[in-house]
Amino acid sequence: MSYCLNPSCPKPINHPKSRLCQACGSKLLLHGRYHLLKGLGKGGFGATFLAADLSLPGKPLCVIKQLRPNTDNPNFLTMARELFEREARTLGRVGNHPQIPRLLDYFEDRQQFYLIQEFVKGNNLQQEVKKNGVLSEVQTRQVLKEVVTILRDIHLQKVIHRDIKPANIIRREIDDRLVLIDFGVVKNQVDSVVSEQTALTAFAVGTPGFAPPEQLAMRPVYASDIYALGVTCMYLLSGKAPKNMDCDPITGDINWFKYVNISDGFAKILTKMLEVAVKSRYKTAQEVLDVLDLEKHGDSLAENMLSNPTATDSNISTNRTGIASGRSQLRDRTTKGSGGRSMSTSKYRNSATARYKTVGQTTSLDQAAKVPTKPMRISAEEVLSAYDAGRKDFGWKDLSMQDLQKVNLSESKFHDSKLIRSNFQGADLHWSNFNDCDLRLSMFRNADLHKCLFHSSNLEGVDLRGANLNGANFKNTKLKGANLCGANLSETNLTKEQLEETKTNWMTIMPTGKRGFW
């Protein structure tokens, strides 16, 4: 179909081949190149449309945002035009981020203003919750970390989003990465005019329930986005909008605890994000990232302390004499995962110790055990059972030819392991350690591998199409023949020499953050 841009048109839908609107006579082709296909939304500021760009090969889809000033006053139009151009430049600047739609064009046509942006195919988080139900704590943590990283980057550009909510976060279909849309800066600065005497810069932006008090009072700060993201996480965990939750009449805090089931650590983070007073809230996105990383490393340290008890000079002999009885008890203990799988603790006990080197006079029960001469062969089921039981160390193991599609094994340790021709398509493996691994010909298509370690690993012939490798470490990594088409390589330490041995395309996000080229 063809869609008419005239806001007063009684019947905007037309035949696909029509050049003029059959109802009002308006031209249907915008700017001589954009063929409007359907309306996506409308409000007091104007409307949003899906269109095809007929001037480019393949007629790619794009999103058109139309701003409609409701006055003919020349002074107002002049000021609106200045604001429009300023905000278009802002959107053009932040649109260089790989997780923000690019600004493709902007122009004025018959006293109406148009922004042309990249079309992102996928469902937003609100649609996901309505379709699939609420997210788990692990999934919500991932959303939080990914979106707060985007906020950190745009805040460095001195831009405040001001409308963070589930409907404005899209999971991009091509690579499952989250994309932040609808900054709304233009519509809110211009449409906020109550009268011709009102200052154009006086505006209140945001969605009720998601916007914090200072933002509704027209004093947004960077921490305003942090609050809105906290409310977004609350919605993802509960499926309830803030308007459907009780509120403390004295403090103004949302009583969200009774609607969710999360760990104390994550609850503490969200509570600080949702502080009504700005001074009590995280001030920057980097602060949120730091506390998430600190909590993760704290959990890892606690796990290592539990699984690797050490002994001093005075009790080495005592520890060694207790090995037999200790191992006998371990063989009797079993752990069960959420899916009902079970395995003896002793079956994966060695995965927590792998190869070791004695440091000084320090040793342990496991350090006194016999070290295998080659990686121990384990199955995908054993890996999942161990992970469900809270064990994440699979170092010095042979997982070749295993099928682990779409599993969650985030923050695991696979160092020194063999994973030849293994299938991790769509798996969540972020923050995992693959140092010194043999990963030849394995499948990691659309996998989440951000912040993973691949130091001195062999990734020859690996399929990494669409994988999220943001911040991964590739020092001394072999990548000959690896497929990186559509992968996100931003903030990695990949060199030009390494990339020359791989396959990339225009959708590949290079270490510089630019698509398709260095």
The pLDDT assigned to 173 comes to 93
Residues 44 and 172 in one domain: no
Residues 145 and 230 in one domain: yes
The pLDDT assigned to 370 comes to 43
Query: Has this prediction a pTM greater than 0.85?
Result: no
Domain boundary among the residues 118, 146, 164 is at 118
Residue 342 located in a structural domain: no
Residue 354 located in a structural domain: no
Residues 140 and 79 in one domain: no
* Residues designated as active site: 163
Lowest mean pLDDT among 74-88, 366-380, 448-462: 366-380
Torsion 173-153-254-203 (CA) sign: negative
Residue 17 located in a structural domain: yes
Cα 118 to Cα 66, 91, 97, 204, 256: the distances in Å are 15, 12, 12, 27, 36
Residue 473 located in a structural domain: yes
What is the span of the domain harbouring residue 267?
Answer: 122-296
| CATH number where 438 lies | 2.160.20
The pLDDT assigned to 517 comes to 65
CA pair distance 437, 412, nearest whole angstrom: 13
The pLDDT assigned to 44 comes to 56
Lowest mean pLDDT among 250-264, 288-302, 366-380: 366-380
Residue 373 located in a structural domain: no
The pLDDT assigned to 373 comes to 61
Residues 134 and 158 in one domain: yes
What average pLDDT does the structure give for the chain? 80
Q: Quick check: 54 and 33 in contact, CB under 8 A?
A: yes
Residue 333 located in a structural domain: no
Residues 113 and 126 in one domain: no
Mean pLDDT computed over 322-335: 38
Mean pLDDT computed over 91-113: 86
The pLDDT assigned to 96 comes to 81
Domain boundary among the residues 232, 263, 296 is at 296
Residues 108 and 190 in one domain: no
| CATH number where 97 lies | 3.30.200.20
Residues 202 and 107 in one domain: no
Residues 425 and 495 in one domain: yes
The pLDDT assigned to 79 comes to 74
Domain boundary among the residues 118, 147, 177 is at 118
Which of the pair, 256 or 311, is modelled with greater confidence? 256
* pLDDT tens, residue by residue, 116-165: 999 999 999 999 999 999 999 999 999 999 999 999 999 998 889 989 99
Whether the per-residue pLDDT at 304 is higher than 90: the answer is no
* pLDDT tens, residue by residue, 172-184: 999 999 999 987 5
Residues 169 and 72 in one domain: no
CA pair distance 153, 146, nearest whole angstrom: 11
Interstrand relation of 103-109 and 112-118 (parallel, antiparallel or unpaired): antiparallel
Q: Quick check: 388 and 367 in contact, CB under 8 A?
A: no
* pLDDT tens, residue by residue, 221-232: 999 999 999 999
Lowest mean pLDDT among 110-124, 185-199, 204-218, 227-241: 185-199
Residues 129 and 51 in one domain: no
If one counts the domains in the chain, the total is: 3
Helix (H) or strand (E) holding 207: none
Residues 289 and 413 in one domain: no
Lowest mean pLDDT among 204-213, 390-399, 418-427: 204-213
Residue 476 located in a structural domain: yes
Report which of 444, 438, 428 is spatially closest to residue 485, judged by C-alpha positions. Answer: 444
**Helix, strand or coil for residue 505?**
coil
Residues 93 and 133 in one domain: no
| CATH number where 145 lies | 1.10.510.10
The pLDDT assigned to 297 comes to 57
Residue 388 located in a structural domain: no
The pLDDT assigned to 71 comes to 64
Q: Find residue 113's DSSP bridge partners.
A: 67, 108
The pLDDT assigned to 240 comes to 93
Mean pLDDT computed over 72-81: 74
